[in-house]
Amino acid sequence: MKKLIPSLILIFTFHAAFPCLIVVVTDGQRVLVGNHEDWFARDARARFEPATDTTYGMVVFDFESEGYAQGGMNTEGLFFDGTATPFVPLDLSGKKDCNCYIWTEVLQHCSNVEEAIEFIRPYRLPDLEQVHLLFADRTGQSVIVGAYDGELTFTYRKRAYQILTNFNVTDPEYGGEEACPRYGKALEILQVDSSATVEHVRNILSLTHQEELSVYSNIYDLTAGEVYIYSLADFNRSVKFNLAEELSKGTHSYSVPGLFP
């Protein structure tokens, strides 16, 4: 396994067996993204990496025992995270290998959704055979990158919100998937109220978490460059980080459980 390139390993590090949820909400002025990370491990951490002469600074969330970013945000307000979806074979012919962990490379080198798409297009991305990725940026642009019929698919936000769970967005019944109750609950709420407030997104997360599996949940304010962290199923307490302030401290990380003694 250690000889595999990181982009190939990602199909395992995105925890394809378990559900997650990502929701983007914008009112034209503020852009918020909420997400759950559902998994058995309890060694989650928030890792801050400052900018260099050639890269943007970023915060990513991973598991210390694994080290591969599950999601994050950079200093330009670009976000990514992913969810497990039914396997779809991709035609990878004519693509080149990425000898890197491509999703953190995106945060380090791209400032918005369109740059992220152009960055990943040339590469073999077997990860996306069983994972959908969501990119969002501080302008309000968001897109779900998936696969269907051998090709990459790009589903852009068309409303004030966009939701991603664990079915193929091009064909929700693909793979024999049943209707996702977490998607249905989030959609029901957002069809009535799509306010771009931290309180509203927190409420959506509290109603869609997995009691035994949600390790942590986040709300990213892409406009302000802030991230809120919630531990396990507790949405009454949060820790907020300002990305610029944290990056001024240099490279460092926090244990997510350690933030909630």
In a domain, 63, yes or no: yes
Tens of pLDDT along 123-160? 999 999 999 999 999 999 999 999 999 999 999 999 99
In a domain, 51, yes or no: yes
Say how far residue 192 (Cα) sits from the centre of its chain: 24
In a domain, 261, yes or no: no
Picking from 199, 104, 123, 204, the residue whose alpha carbon sits closest to that of residue 164 is 204
| Number of domains within the chain | 1
In a domain, 1, yes or no: no
Q: Give me the CATH number covering residue 238.
A: 3.60.60.10
In a domain, 143, yes or no: yes
Distance CA 135, CA 152 (A): 14
Residue 158 near residue 130, CB atoms below 8 Å: no
Residue found by looking up tokens 């000898």 in the block: 99
How far from 14 is each of 21, 50, 74, 193, 205, CA to CA, in Å? Answer: 13, 24, 19, 30, 19
Residue 40 near residue 213, CB atoms below 8 Å: yes
In a domain, 168, yes or no: yes
The domain in which residue 208 lies consists of 6-256
Residue 129 near residue 35, CB atoms below 8 Å: no
Tens of pLDDT along 168-188? 999 999 988 788 899 999 999
pLDDT per residue rounded down to tens, the chain (261 residues): 222 234 433 433 444 435 589 999 999 999 999 999 877 778 899 999 999 999 999 999 999 888 789 999 999 999 999 999 999 999 999 999 988 899 999 999 999 999 999 999 999 999 999 999 999 999 999 999 999 999 999 999 999 999 999 999 999 999 887 888 999 999 999 999 999 999 999 999 999 987 777 899 999 999 999 999 999 989 999 999 999 999 999 999 999 999 999
With residue 161 as reference, give the H or E element that holds it.
strand 161-164
